[in-house]
Amino acid sequence: MGLTSLVGRDELLDALAASVRAGARLTSLSGAGGVGKTRLALALLGKVAGHFDMAAVVHLADLDPSEDAVTAVGQSIVAALGVTDHQSQRRPVEVLLERLQDQRVLLVLDNAEHMLDPVADVVIALLTEAPGLSVVVTTRHRLDLPPERVIAVPPVTIPGVGASPEEARGSQALSLLLERAGDAGFPTVTEGSAAWEAVVELARWSGGLPLVIELIAAQMGVLGPEKTLQRLDGGRLLTTTARRAQPHHRTLTKALDISWALCTPAQRLLWARLAVFSGGFDLEAAEEVCGRGDSSDVLSPLGELVRHSVVVVTGDGRYHQLQPLREYGLRHLDAFGETDELRARHCDWVRRLVATAAAEWFGPDELEWLARLHREVPNIRSAVGWCVAARTEAAVETGLAIVSDVMRSRVQFFAALQSTICGWMSDLLALRLTDDEPPATPTRLGAHAALGFTYIAIGDKERGERHLALCRAVAVGLGADAAPPLRFLEGCHRALNLGEPSGLPLLREARDDFRAAGALADGQMAGLMLAVSAGLMGPADIADEAAADCLEDAERHGAPWARTWALWVQGLPALTAPRYVLHECLPAQIAMGDRWGTTWTVQAGAWWRARIGQSEDAARLLGGCVGMQERHGVGLGGLPPFKRQREQAERRIVAAIGEAAFRSAFIDGTELTTEEVYELALRPVGVPGAVMPAANAAELTTAERRVAALVSGGLSNGQIAEELHVSKRTVETHVGRIFGKLHLTNRAQLAAWYLGRSGEEQST
């Protein structure tokens, strides 16, 4: 629940920030539910993140402690940091130990109380081996680890008994309550009135818990201060002695009970049903999962739940519940006897969502689909966990279909979620419900194919081969030896795992079969792998045909990310006439936030410069690419065709400038930041060290010039979209194209170019 201010927390926040900056290894923010631990931790992250190489918040509330909890905690940290194991599929903690060496990293682990032992195991392992790591944990119970510094987050101050109006206003609880009530439209309360006395009592009754204050402010908007206080037992909790529960816990529970009582039966039912969502939801999802055919049975009560502060609307238009309210709702869902039904409905919704994404991403909405799936990862994880827990053949089939479609969308690459998503699939495939072999189904075939391809793409040859063998066995059981998914995986294995041209005919057949079956997105991926493999290995005629087909396919369907990859293959060395497209390809990838694509493009740029004799820049780019692979979680060393090109580039450089000069330039490159690597890669290929000349403004379209002007004015993509009445995705596409045309890498450069052009025009 997003409070608008951190009333009463400034001094504590400053002290925490100073401690973390000074190198505090493990800080646990403890306290009652609703005291504001999460809010404080997020404010701390925002305040000190700039002092670290990496910083992330890891939400643990939705993890299931009944599963392999240590692995689940590790995978959540891996996903939050965007770290990828590009050499093998080791346990997440091993991946993190390697990645966090020599890095200053801040982790916020939120809501750890239900996972104390696995969180403690992961944290102590990381702190022991990663000296630059600092961890902040929010939990109702301490971890009891040797380096732990426990900070009890206190409630905000409340008015004293018999406090004067001036003294009462000095309390943090009353200040926050009046602020939140005013935000909700409640009128100013006159001092000395009965309403004023009730508001002061409510501030005292809250116990200083910000979440309770939020709920009271909402209740006041319905009942007024006096009736709200009356409903809360007339404030009797202020004088009673807790026997079995802590006062703060009793206060929060009572506040939730009153919020529940204020809701109509329809609102209560929706509150409970919405608790099946993890990580938030939108209106359409709520209607599909929680409704019963009539949209009014969700829309109206949802609006009231927002008004009651049971559900909050976030800045991106999504809804969510804080964990205490969600837990309260789940308890009531059990009481309603609807848990199994709602979990199943939620799983079905996830299934339809990812199936649509896998089928429709290949088009103008490609980036929106990638962003949507990334945003829904908590809900997808919850649905897959439900499938694992159900332990039925039908549930496993559903789970395998969900994860297969997530992988077919390629979000695991775009968002660096390989370890997490491969873990989901591995958990499902490992289930043995009987002593017999699992049934051979098309879903299981597709699951092995999707998982095997992901392993191959990240250079894990052993696991890629294992799932290829399993895929073959399932195909035999189906009587479908020539199934396109099997051909695709077989072709990728031969071409990318083994570096053998015998994989090319299989990839071509898979591409054509997918397209004939109407699976255009899968056909595009098979075509891309064919173009990549042939472009690196030859022969030239296959490389030429595959590269041209891949680009034409991407442009015909208007898929922006796919187009950057199709452009990338136009410059591969086995083509008859490779084109230098880096200056068109790389800026668009940077604008999209594509960490995999930019790394591959920088690597190819190094090969190109080595071929044309720009040896020192080529060596620096090779070194810079090593750093990018580490930062972006991308591995190229395990793929033989890439290894051959890199080794050939190194031989050319050494032949031109000698081993010592190569090593010196290579090491210089490893020390470059990602931004510096981009700037080096975007230097013109003609004159080493020169600055790429800016394009003439006439080369930009009218719409692009307008966008450039707004960027120079400091507007974000979202603000520009509002100004021009277009989608944010349209603006992002314009910005990417502008970067490509002007050979720029960031918004500051674009603003400088635009302002410079404006000055020239005025002087003439």
As a three-state string, the secondary structure of 411-432 is HHHHCCCHHHHHHHHHHHHHCC
* Domain co-membership, 663 together with 747: no
Per the domain annotation, does 280 fall within a domain?
yes
Domain end point (choices 213, 244, 260): 260
Q: Domain limits at 290?
A: 263-337
Q: Crossing angle of helices 366-375/560-569, nearest 10°?
A: 110
Omega before residue 92 within 30° of 0, cis: no
- Lowest-pLDDT choice from 244-258, 441-455, 721-735: 244-258
Q: Are residues 201 and 182 in the same domain?
A: yes
| pLDDT band (50, 70, 90) for residue 481 | low
Q: How large is the average pLDDT for residues 660-681?
A: 92
Among the listed residues 322, 327, 328, 330, the one whose alpha carbon sits nearest the alpha carbon of residue 36 = 322
| Dihedral, CA of residue 447, residue 453, residue 454 and residue 455, to nearest 10 | 110
On whether residue 561 sits in a domain, the answer given is: no
Cβ-count burial of 368 within 10 angstroms (0-12 exposed, 13-18 middle, 19+ buried)?
A: middle
Q: Does the pLDDT value for residue 127 go beyond 50?
A: yes
Does a structural domain hold residue 510? Answer: no
User: 664 and 707: one domain?
Assistant: no
How much is the pLDDT for 687? Answer: 39
Residues 6 or more apart in contact with residue 686 via CB below 8 angstroms: none
| Gap between the Cα atoms of 17 and 374, Å rounded | 30
Q: Which residue has the tokens 């997918």?
A: 514
754, amino acid identity = Y
CATH number at residue 19: 3.40.50.300
Q: Is 294 exposed, middle or buried (0-12, 13-18, 19+ CB in 10 A)?
A: exposed
Which pLDDT score, from 0 to 100, does residue 684 have? 77
pLDDT at 666 over 70: yes
236, pLDDT greater than 70: no
- Would residue 351 count as lying in a domain? no
**CA 634, CA 415: separation in Å to the nearest integer?**
11
Q: Which residues of 100-117 are buried (b: 16+ CB within 10 A; e: fewer)?
A: beebbbbbbbbbbbbbbe
Are residues 101 and 208 part of one domain? Answer: no
Strand partners, 320: 312
Nearest CA-CA partner of 469 in 458, 459, 455: 455
Q: Using one digit for the tens of pLDDT, what is the confidence trace for 138-170?
A: 988 888 888 889 898 888 888 887 788 888 888
Host H or E run for residue 327: helix 323-336
> How does pLDDT run across 493-520, given as a tens digit for each residue?
999 999 999 999 999 999 999 999 999 9
Boundary (domain end) residue, out of 88, 121, 152: 152
Task: Find the CATH number of the domain harbouring 747.
Answer: 1.10.10.10
Mean pLDDT of all residues in 439-464: 91
Residues facing 313 on adjacent strands: 319
Q: What's the mean pLDDT when you consider all of the chain?
A: 85
Measure the CA–CA gap between 299 and 283, rounded to whole angstroms: 8
Q: Is there a single domain that holds both residue 606 and residue 643?
A: yes
| Domain end among 299, 320, 337 | 337
Residue 30 forms beta bridges with which residues?
Answer: 139, 152
Q: Hey, which of 28-32, 138-142, 259-263, 271-275 has the most confident mean pLDDT? A: 271-275
The angle, 0 to 180 degrees and rounded to 10, between the axes of the packed helices 283-290 and 296-307 is 120
Q: CB neighbours (10 Å) of residue 392?
A: 11
Mean pLDDT across 9-29: 91
Same domain, 242 and 280: no
State whether 662 and 752 are in the same domain. no
Q: Does some domain include residue 485?
A: no
Rounded to the nearest 10°, the torsion over CA 186, 191, 192, 193 is -20
**Measured CA angle at 625 (ends 624, 631), to 5 deg:** 95
Residue, of 194 and 495, whose pLDDT is higher: 495
The set of residues, in sequence order, having a beta carbon less than 8 Å from that of 168 and lying 6+ positions away, is 159, 174, 200, 203
Domain co-membership, 33 together with 145: yes
Residues 173 and 146 in one domain: no
Instruction: Report cis status (omega within 30 of 0) of the bond before 539.
Output: yes
pLDDT at 135: 95
Residues 6+ apart with CB under 8 A from 80: 56, 57, 58, 107
Tell me the C-alpha distance between 71 and 92, whole Å. Answer: 6
32 and 51 belong to one structural domain: yes
Residue 752 lies in a domain: yes
- Residue range 531-574, pLDDT digits in tens: 999 999 999 999 999 999 999 999 999 999 999 999 999 989 89
Name the more confident of 312 and 361: 361
Cα distances (angstroms) measured from residue 588 to each of 416, 636, 678: 18, 21, 12
pLDDT band (50, 70, 90) for residue 461: confident
Q: Beta strand 319-320 with 312-313: parallel, antiparallel or unpaired?
A: antiparallel
β-partners of residue 411 are none
Q: How many CA atoms lie within 13 A of 479 on its CB side?
A: 0
Q: Are strands 133-139 and 319-320 parallel, antiparallel or unpaired?
A: unpaired
Q: What is the pLDDT of residues 338-394, one digit of tens each?
A: 999 999 999 999 999 999 999 999 999 999 999 899 999 989 999 999 999 898 999
**φ/ψ of residue 659, rounded to 5:** -65, -45
139 found inside a domain: yes
pLDDT in tens, 278-294: 888 999 999 999 998 66
- In a 3-state reduction of DSSP, which class is residue 58? strand
Q: Within this chain, do residues 40 and 142 fall inside the same structural domain, yes or no? A: yes
441: left (phi over 0), alpha (psi -120 to 50) or beta: beta
Instruction: Please indicate, yes or no, whether residues 200 and 226 belong to a single structural domain of this protein.
Output: yes
For residue 34, being part of any structural domain is answered with yes
Interatomic CA distance for residues 41 and 30, integer angstroms: 11
The model's pLDDT over 591-648, given as tens digits with 9 standing for 90+, comes to 887 877 888 899 899 998 898 889 999 999 999 988 787 766 666 666 788 888 889 9
> What percent of the chain is predicted at pLDDT more than 70?
90
- Would you say residue 688 has pLDDT above 50? no
Of the candidates 499, 351, 385, the residue with the CA atom closest to the CA atom of residue 64 = 385
* Most confident region among 11-25, 211-225, 635-649 by mean pLDDT: 11-25
Find out whether 346 and 382 touch, Cβ atoms under 8 Å.
yes
The total of structural domains in the chain comes to 5
